Structure 1
Amino acid sequence: MDLSGGCRIYLFVLFNLFLIEGVWGTSVNVGSGISTTEGSTVFLRCSFSKSIASVDSPPIVHWSILDADGYPTPILTRTNGETRTEPPYRARFSISGEADLRITNVQAEDNGKYRCRVQIIDDIPSEDFGDITLKVFWISKVVSTVPSTGIIIGNTVTMTCTVTGDLTPSVYWKKDDKELKLTSTGHVIKDDHSLVIHSVSRDDDGIYVCGARNNVREEMSTPKRLEVYYAPVISDISDTKTVINQNVTVTFEVDSNPPAILEWTKDGQPVEDINNPSFTFFVPEQEVGKSYEITLTATNSVGKMKKTTKVIIGDACGYTTISHEGSGRMLEAKTLSLKEGRSVTLVCSVKDCESSDTYSYEWYKNDVKYSTSDKLVINDASLMDDNMQYMCRVRGGIPFPSSVGFRIHIKVPLLEPMTIVIICGCAAGFIFLIILIICCVCFCKKRRQTRGYKSADSKYSMQSGFSYNDIEFIGIKERRDDSSSTTSGVTTSVLA
C-alpha cells in the first residue's frame, strides 16, 4: 500500500469517527452575561465536551480578562487538578468545580469580559474558548458641596454633586429628608447633577443631601445645611394700657438671620443697653394720664427694621373687688366663713373711675362657669354644695381681664344653750331612774331575807325547846332538792 492510499484510509476513518461522535473537536460553552454588585460573590460558568469520548487526558483550563482591544490578560490556569493564579488575582479568584471561575468580594474594577479556554491533549482539535461578560453595578462615593456661609435672600445659589460609579446612576436631591420635586419654582438639577436655586427664599433654608441610586444600590452624601440670611422682621402689637404704681412690659416678636442687635427708645430717648425683645419699666403715681412711645430697632448684616407702640397710663380703675350686698363691706381675706344654713349675697364690681367701658361679669365655682351676673347668691349654705373655690372675672376693665378669687368655708353650727340644758336634764333624769330601780331591787331582796330568818327561828324553837331570846341566828341556808322542799340545815351560835 502506497502513502497516498494510507492517507486516504486515515482520513476516511477520521471522518467516520467525527460522524459517529457528533462533535468536531473540544467544545466550550459559557453562560450568559451576569450582573452583580460590589462586595458580592459570583460564579462565571464554563463547561466543555470532548470530540473523542475515549480520550481520558485531563483538561487544561485557562481564565483571562480581555482589555478594550480584546487582548487577554491571564488570571489563572488549572492543570492536572492544580491551579496557578496570577499574583494580582490570588486573593479573590479561584476555580470552582471543573472549570467555573469564582470571584469573591466583587469590586468595580472586576467589570468586563472574561474568557474561558479549555485544552484537552490528544483530542482533535484540542482546544476551544468562550467569552462571558460581568457587569458590576457600583456607586463608590457621592460628594456634595453647599456654601458654608449664609446666602442672602433673593440671591441665586448652586450646590454641586459628584458621583463616582457606573454609567447608569439616577441622581436626586433631598431637603430635610424629603426628595425635591423639580416642578418646584426656582429649583433646577443640571446635567452635572448640581442643584441651582434661583431667588433664594426663607423656605430654602434647611439640610440638603445629594443621592445616587442604581438597580441594586443607593448612596448619599454627607448632609449639609444651606443657611439663608434675611433682614429682621418685627411683629405688630397693640397699644398697651396700664395703671400707676406697677411695672409694665412691652414685648415684640423678632425674627432674623443672622440674629439682630436690638435697641430700645422711650419717647425718643435711648434706654439702657438691653439686647432683648422685651422691655420693662415702672409707672409712678404722678404719671397718670400720660402715654409713652416705645420703639424697638432691630439691625443685622442684611437690613434693619423699626416698630413703635404706645403705653397709655390710667388711674387705678379696673381693679376687681368683692363686697357684701347691703353692708358694702369689702371681702379682703382669701376665705369667707359661713355657717351652714345661712344665706349670703356677694357683689363683684370694678373700682369706680372715669371710664365709659361696659363691664361683663363671670362667676366660676371650682373653675366651672357658674353665673354671668355681677352677684353671687348662696341660699341655705350647704357643706356639701357650697364649700368650694369661687372666682369673679371682669371683662372690659383695665387691665383686661381682671379677676379675684376666694374660698367659702361652711361651718357646722354648735348646739344652742337651751338644747344643751334639755339634753343634760334628760341625761340626769335617766341616771336618777336607774339609781331608783337599783334601790328598789336591793330593798326587796332585804325583805325576803328578813322573812326567812323569822321562819327558821320559829321551827328551831319548837324542835329544841329553846326560846327565841336565847339564840342568835347567824345565817340560814336552805337547800331544795328535786323531790322535796325541806330545810336541809341551819347554822346557829348559842349565846354564852
Structure 2
Amino acid sequence: MDKKREGTLAIVLLALIHGVLASGAVEVQPSINPAVVGGTVTLSLSPSATLNSGSWAVGESLILTWLGDQQAVFPSHTGRASVNVLTGALTLISVKVADSGVYIVQSTNPQLKANVSITVLEPVSNATLRTTQTNLMEFNSSAVITCSVSSGSSVSFLWMNHSSEVTAMDRVQLTDGNSTLTIVNVTRYDQGPFRCHVFNPVSNATSDPVNFTISYGPDNMAITVNGQNTTSFTIGSNLTMLCSAQSNPPAQLQWAYRGELVNTTGPLLELFSVSEDQSGPYSCLAFNNRTDMNSTITTHIMIAKSGSEQQAVSVWLLPLLLLFGFLF
C-alpha cells in the first residue's frame, strides 16, 4: 500500500514539474509590436507545441477558448479573433488602441501558461502649428506656438529652428508634454522658421513652418568713408560716406555736420572736391518708427593739404625767413 502511494505521489510531482517547466519554457512571440491601428497581429508560441485545449485572455477579460477543433469567441472579440486549434496561435484583426494590454494563454493539455504585452498605436497625421501673433518686439514680446495632430497615440514632440533642435533653457519653455513652445523676450535670432516633428514608434509627421517678424534696433551702427577705415583725406578729394545700422524695419537715416542737420537722408552722404574747412565731426542718426528707438554714430574727418603741397610751401617760405632773419 505504501509503495502504491509513493508511486502515485511521484506521478503527481512529475506532472507538476512538467507543467512548471512547460510554463517557463514557452514564450509568446507577436508578429509585430507595437502594432498599427487597423492591422493584424498574430501571437504565436515559441517553441511551437500542439495544444488540445486552452484559452486566451487580455488582462482579466477572456477572448476565446478552444477544445479540440472547436473554439468559442467571446462577444468583445467576435469577428476579430481566432485561434489555431493545433498550435494555440491567436490572430487579432482590425486591432484598436483599446486592444493594447497583456495577453495570456493557458492550456491544461499540455499544461502551460505564458503572456506578452502588446501595444497598438494610431498613426500620426496632419501636424499643425498655431500661434497667437507673429509680429513681435525684441526683448518685449513672447512667442507661443502650439503643435497638434489630427490623429496619433502615444506621440512625442520635437521642435526645430531651421535645422537645429530647440531645447528648454533660460528663455525657452516646453510645456504640455512638449507640445507648446514658448520663447520669452524674443530676440532677432528667434525669427524661425520653426517646425514641429511629431512621432510615435509606428509613424511620424512634420508641420509646415512658422516664421516671426521681430522688430529691433537700430543698433550696431557703422560709418565707412570711401570704403576705407581711414578718416584723413587731402584737399580736393571726393568723399562717399556710407552709414549702416542693424534694424527691422530698416531705420530712417539722417546726416548731421558739427551737430547741425544737413539736407541729406539715406545711407549715403557724398562730398565733392572737399576743402580744409569741411573737416570736423560727421554724424549719422538712425530712427526706427516701429520700435521708437534711435541711435547715432559720429566720425571725425580730417581734410588737409597733401605732403608734397606742404613741402612746396615750406621750400617757398624758407628764403623769406632767411632774408627776414638777416635783416633783423
Instruction: State whether TM-score is above 0.5.
Output: yes
1:140 partner amino acid: V
Residue 38 of structure 1 corresponds to 36
More strand by share: 2
Task: List alignment gaps of at least 5 residues for structure 1.
Answer: 1-18, 20-28, 52-56, 65-70, 82-96, 118-129, 319-350, 356-496
2:33 partner amino acid: S
Residue 228 of structure 1 corresponds to 214
Distance 1:131-1:272 versus aligned 2 partners, 3 A rule: same
1:229 partner amino acid: S
In 2, Cα distance between equivalents of 1:37 and 1:78: 17
Does residue 1:175 correspond to 2:197, yes or no? Answer: no
Residue 278 of structure 1 corresponds to 268
Deviation at 1:283, TM superposition (A): 2.5
Q: Secondary structure at the match of 1:35?
A: coil
1:174 partner amino acid: M
Distance 1:291-1:216 versus aligned 2 partners, 3 A rule: same
Contact 2:283/2:299, CA 8 A, preserved across alignment:
yes
Distance 1:262-1:226 versus aligned 2 partners, 3 A rule: same
Residue 294 of structure 1 corresponds to 282
Contact 1:205/1:225, CA 8 A, preserved across alignment:
yes
Choose the corresponding residue for 1:353, options 307, 310, 315. 310
In 2, Cα distance between equivalents of 1:75 and 1:116: 20
Contact 2:81/2:90, CA 8 A, preserved across alignment:
no
Choose the corresponding residue for 1:158, options 144, 156, 165. 144
In 2, Cα distance between equivalents of 1:162 and 1:48: 49
In 2, Cα distance between equivalents of 1:63 and 1:253: 80
Q: Deviations over 1:463-489 (max 9, x none)?
A: xxxxxxxxxxxxxxxxxxxxxxxxxxx
Higher normalized contact order (CA 8 Å, seq sep 6+, divided by chain length): 2
Count of matched residue pairs = 255
Distance 1:110-1:244 versus aligned 2 partners, 3 A rule: same
Contact 2:217/2:248, CA 8 A, preserved across alignment:
yes
In 2, Cα distance between equivalents of 1:181 and 1:140: 22
Distance 1:249-1:72 versus aligned 2 partners, 3 A rule: same
Distance 1:166-1:291 versus aligned 2 partners, 3 A rule: same
Q: Secondary structure at the match of 1:223?
A: coil
Deviation at 1:248, TM superposition (A): 0.3
Matches within 5 A, 1:437-476: none
Residue 297 of structure 2 corresponds to 307
Identity percentage over the alignment? 21
TM-score (norm 1): 0.41
Contact 2:162/2:193, CA 8 A, preserved across alignment:
yes
Distance 1:144-1:78 versus aligned 2 partners, 3 A rule: closer
Choose the corresponding residue for 2:194, options 208, 229, 235. 208
Does residue 1:143 correspond to 2:128, yes or no? Answer: yes
Matches within 5 A, 1:9-20: none
Task: List alignment gaps of at least 5 residues for structure 2.
Answer: 1-14, 16-25, 54-66, 106-113, 224-228, 313-328
In 1, Cα distance between equivalents of 2:244 and 2:251: 12
Q: Secondary structure at the match of 1:206?
A: coil
Contact 2:40/2:91, CA 8 A, preserved across alignment:
no
Q: What is the root-mean-square deviation in Å for CA atoms of aligned residues? A: 4.7
Contact 1:239/1:309, CA 8 A, preserved across alignment:
no
Q: Deviations over 1:249-285 (max 9, x none)?
A: 1123311122223233455344345x3x33222125x
Greater gyration radius? 1
Q: Secondary structure at the match of 1:262?
A: strand
Distance 1:37-1:293 versus aligned 2 partners, 3 A rule: farther
Deviation at 1:99, TM superposition (A): 6.2
1:299 partner amino acid: F
Does residue 1:258 correspond to 2:249, yes or no? Answer: yes
